[in-house]
Amino acid sequence: MESRIELIRGDITKLEFDAIVNAANKSLLGGGGVDGAIHRAAGHQLLEECRTLNGCETGEAKITMGYQLPARHVIHTVGPVWRGGNNREDELLASCYTSSLEVAVNNQCKTIAFPNISTGIYGFPKERAAMIAINTTKEFLAKSKTIIKVIFVCFDEENYNLYKNRLNEVGKA
């Protein structure tokens, strides 16, 4: 069977999938990094819809339309800020992936692209984050047949190489 996990290097705002995931902050009202790029590319209607959502807790996810993005939907999830590792950071990061995949399934999204949540401004160690992202996604896909494709989108070369090595080690789903 063809793999359901793919890895690419690039800009998530350019991708035409059922959903792209945004590494948002709790306000859901935009920010820096990938969040800023998604809001710029989607246009002001995205911010207007986000205002109606009353924010989002860390580890949870909420969906909107994609507006001017090529992607149909945006799934906004809030990653944990890295505070040394003893503040449930691993569990909360895993929950971002699981919650986003659940939201995708509940909204008939079969193809979904993830950025490297929490590894930018939020400072999560990249190798540890890649392991959590891949393991959590593989576990989810093993139980759910609805999603046909998960694409990990790496903006920087370091993350791309970490994901490539990890996926070669554990195999794809």
Binding site for ligand ADP (CB under 6 A): 11-13, 23, 33-35, 37, 79, 115-122, 153, 155-156, 159
Give least dist CB 48 to ligand ADP, A: 21
Q: Closest CB to ligand ADP among 29 and 37?
A: 37
Q: Closest CB to ligand ADP among 136 and 159?
A: 159
Q: Closest CB to ligand ADP among 66 and 115?
A: 115
Q: Closest CB to ligand ADP among 30 and 33?
A: 33
Give least dist CB 19 to ligand ADP, A: 14
Burial class, 149, CB count within 10 angstroms (exposed 0-12 / middle 13-18 / buried 19+): middle
150 with 133: CB under 8 angstroms?
A: no
Give least dist CB 32 to ligand ADP, A: 6
Compute the distance between CA of residue 108 and CA of residue 129 in angstroms, rounded to an integer: 27
- Helices 89-106, 126-143: axis angle to 10 degrees equals 40
Beta bridge partners of 19: 73, 112
Specify the amino acid at residue 19: A
Give least dist CB 143 to ligand ADP, A: 26
